[in-house]
Each structure stands twice: as C-alpha cells, then as structure tokens.
Amino acid sequence: MADLAQKPDVRPNNTHFSSGPCSKRPGWSLEALSDAPLGRSHRAKIGKAKLKQAIDLTREILNVPADYRIGIVPASDTGAVEMALWSLLGERGVDMLSWESFGAGWVTDVVKQLKLKDVRKFEADYGLLPNLAEVDFDRDVVFTWNGTTSGVRVPNADFIPADRKGLTICDATSAAFAQDMDFSKLDVVTFSWQKVLGGEGGHGMLILSPRAVERLESYVPAWPLPKIFRMTKGGKLIEGIFVGETINTPSMLCVEDYLDALNWAKSLGGLKALIARADANAKMIFDFVAKNDWIANLAVKDETRSNTSVCLKIVDPEITALDADAQAAFAKGIVSLLEKEGVAVDIGAYRDAPSGLRIWAGATIETADMEVLMPWLTWAYQTQKAALNKSAA
C-alpha cells in the first residue's frame, strides 16, 4: 500500500453533515429566534400571523402555484405523507414506486395497513430507479422524489403526463428547496423543515393541487380517519388548515426557526440560489469520487445522483472481498475516525442501506467546508485500511 496520506491541517468550520436533521444555516444562533411568541396561543393573532407567513414564504420561494393549498401538519414529513395516503387513496388503483427505505415504508403502509387490493409495486435496488415508463398514470402514483437513504432521485418530472387521470403523491422531503420540481405534474407534495433548510423536526408541509382537493371533497375512504388526518368537514376542505390554523398545536419556536431559514433563503435569491449551493456542494464530492478509485457513488446513473443526500460506497476490491459485516465495520471505522478528529459527524450510511458514507450537501452547507472535508476522507480511508492490514498480518 502507498504511503499514508498526511493528516490534513484544516478542519471544516461546520462539521454537521447529517442527512436529517440537517445543518442549520450559516451564521445561525438562538438569537435569531428571539421574536418567537413563546407562551402565546398559536390561535392568537400573532400566532396565526407567524404560521401564515411561513406558508406564504414557502409558496414564494418554492414557486408553488397560487391555486395550490399549503398546510403545516403534525409529525414531520411522515405525518404529511400518511395524511395523503389515508385521505386520498382507495378511489382507484395505485402504483407504488420504491427504491430506498422510506419509499419501501409507504408501500408497506398501503399494502399492510390500508390493505388496498389494487396495488402495483415498482421496486428497485439501492442505487437504481424502477422503470418509470411502466407506471400507469390513470392510476394514483406514490413516489419519493429524492431517495434520502440511497442518494437516487428522479431526474425530472417528464415521466409524468399532464393529462393523467390519477393523482401523483410525491414525498419530496430531501428535494424541496434543493431541486427543481414541476408542480404542474404533482398533486400532493410533502416535506419537512429539518432537511434542506435545516429547520427543527416535528412539523410537516402538505401541498395540494386543485385535483387533490377535488378528490378530498368527492371521495370518502372506506376506513375511519383519525382526527389528526382529517382535512374535510361536511364534504368540504377545511380551508383553515391552509392559512395557518393547524390541526394540532405547533411549536412557535420551531415556526420561528423555519421563518428564519426561509428569510435566509430569500436573502440569497430564493430557489435558484439554494439549488446552486447544493449543486456546488455535491459537485465537490462527485469530483473527489472521480479522482479516487476506492469510492463510488451509490447512484448508478449520473443523472439520478442526488445533490443533497450523497450516498457513497467503498469499492476497494480488498474491502468488497470481505463479508458484509466486515465491510460495514470498515465504513463505520471511517465515520468514527472523522468524528473523533472533529471533522464530520453523522455521515454513516442509513441503517437499512448498503454500507458506506452519506454526506449531506444541501444549501445550508458551505462549499468551503465541503472542500476541506474531502482530503480527510482520503486520510480516514487510508488510516482504516492500514489498521485492517495490520490486524490481518
């Protein structure tokens, strides 16, 4: 083995490369939340105003069409997706797309919890997309735009026809604010605050097209709906949900934090600036991978690589020759070394995904920090490899 790379002298200023909850924006501090109306009712005038402002800024930055509703809902992205699945599905057959753990979870919910009979599953291994051309959009379609645990995303919405008869339900939790989504092709979009904008957990966003609202008002599911999922009353949409009158009590501290992130995004120039930051961060990783033969993108095709949750696999033949447990231990060793050195935290692959690294490249990461991290990856890999060879000697 070649000589070990010298330990780098410079560490990232921000070591938080977790894929959720993600890093706070540059320069963030608790003082930014000093205007939060703590101890006040979220139904008071000030609380409603804050919640409506969060909805309005979300619409402005994401370029959500004026006739789409935006609501703040409980239980993060998971809650938003479940509200959509339980409230909308069952009117017709559904095609479920899955290529990583969260998408697989939605398949399980639809098949085993809702117990829908007319379900077609389109599944792919980590690193790949299913054949999108086989999807029938006369049926409802549920898919994840960006697979957070696989680093694989749909390249665009071209596979969705404009004249579809079914609804498209899109889990966009690692894509919103980092990737360009065509809302005209999407009937339900969900995400959470703690991903691209680095907000706090516990709150989800639910965006509904007019077609989705029409379904809600014309279709009653065969199963009972918990109060926390109900979006209609007397056959009409509860409009208050979509102007800040939340179903349950939100954290006004978290709302203030989301507002801070939205205002930061607006100050940068909005969605285009956010996408550019994520693209620059991801490119730093992709360029590094191209120059190092021991590591590769988990995403097989370049056009499907995520620019937020970048998932990497170790392809050194000596490591891939090991059994799965030993490969996982090697990757975890790299992660542990970097954490001990105060370089990067929480960059291990997701527990259900193939072993390797997962580095968050979203807009709240500074490209300068990503650049500093790259030589540390080489050092950690070589250090771990040397330790492995020594133990085998």
Short-list 197, 288, 196, 262, CA closest to 51: 262
Instruction: Based on the fold, state whether residues 223 and 278 are members of the same structural domain.
Output: no
Coil, helix or strand for 144? strand
Short-list 272, 269, 303, 266, CA closest to 178: 272
Instruction: Based on the fold, state whether residues 298 and 208 are members of the same structural domain.
Output: no
Let me know the angle formed at the C-alpha of 328 by 279 and 383, rounded to the nearest 5 degrees: 80
pLDDT digits (tens, 9 = 90+) for 359-379: 999 999 999 999 999 999 999
Q: Is 61 within 8 Å of 200 (Cβ atoms)?
A: no
Instruction: Based on the fold, state whether residues 263 and 322 are members of the same structural domain.
Output: no
Short-list 197, 225, 248, CA closest to 73: 248
Q: Across residues 196-205, what is the average pLDDT? A: 97
148 has a pLDDT exceeding 70: yes
Q: Across residues 269-279, what is the average pLDDT? A: 98
Q: What is the Cα–Cα distance from 191 to 72, expressed in whole angstroms?
A: 10
Q: How far is CA 19 from CA 142, 246, 275, in A?
A: 22, 27, 16
Query: If pLDDT is split at 50, 70 and 90, which confidence band does 4 have?
Result: confident
Instruction: Based on the fold, state whether residues 152 and 211 are members of the same structural domain.
Output: yes
Residue 169: its pLDDT value, please?
Answer: 99
pLDDT digits (tens, 9 = 90+) for 96-107: 999 999 999 999
Q: Which domain holds residue 107?
A: 37-267
Residue 322: its pLDDT value, please?
Answer: 97
Instruction: Based on the fold, state whether residues 137 and 199 are members of the same structural domain.
Output: yes
15 assigned to some structural domain? no
29 assigned to some structural domain? no
25 assigned to some structural domain? no
93 assigned to some structural domain? yes
- Given the DSSP bridges, would you call strands 146-147 and 140-144 parallel, antiparallel or unpaired? unpaired
Domain final position from 267, 301, 320: 267
1 has a pLDDT exceeding 50: no
Instruction: Based on the fold, state whether residues 95 and 206 are members of the same structural domain.
Output: yes
84 has a pLDDT exceeding 70: yes
Q: Across residues 54-67, what is the average pLDDT? A: 98
Domain final position from 230, 252, 267: 267
Query: If pLDDT is split at 50, 70 and 90, which confidence band does 393 have?
Result: confident
Long-range contacts of 63-69 (CB under 8 A, 24+ apart): 63/183, 63/271, 64/183, 64/207, 65/183, 65/184, 65/209, 67/209, 67/210, 68/183, 68/207, 68/208, 68/209, 68/210, 69/207, 69/208, 69/213, 69/237, 69/239, 69/241, 69/242
Instruction: Based on the fold, state whether residues 198 and 129 are members of the same structural domain.
Output: yes
18 assigned to some structural domain? no
Instruction: Based on the fold, state whether residues 301 and 347 are members of the same structural domain.
Output: yes
Rg for the chain (alpha carbons), in Å?
22
159 assigned to some structural domain? yes
71 has a pLDDT exceeding 50: yes
Query: If pLDDT is split at 50, 70 and 90, which confidence band does 3 have?
Result: low
Query: If pLDDT is split at 50, 70 and 90, which confidence band does 163 have?
Result: very high
Instruction: Check which CATH number belongs to the domain holding 105 and give it.
Output: 3.40.640.10
Tokens of 209: 């097209």
Instruction: Based on the fold, state whether residues 178 and 68 are members of the same structural domain.
Output: yes
Q: What are phi and psi of 142, to 5 degrees?
A: -120, 125
Instruction: Based on the fold, state whether residues 245 and 306 are members of the same structural domain.
Output: no
Instruction: Check which CATH number belongs to the domain holding 320 and give it.
Output: 3.90.1150.10
Domain final position from 244, 267, 290: 267
H helix count then E strand count, the chain: 9, 14
Instruction: Based on the fold, state whether residues 317 and 383 are members of the same structural domain.
Output: yes
Residues of the chain above pLDDT 90, percent? 98
Q: Is 329 within 8 Å of 377 (Cβ atoms)?
A: no
131 assigned to some structural domain? yes
The structural domain count of the chain equals 2
Coil, helix or strand for 132? helix
2 assigned to some structural domain? no
Residue 355: its pLDDT value, please?
Answer: 98
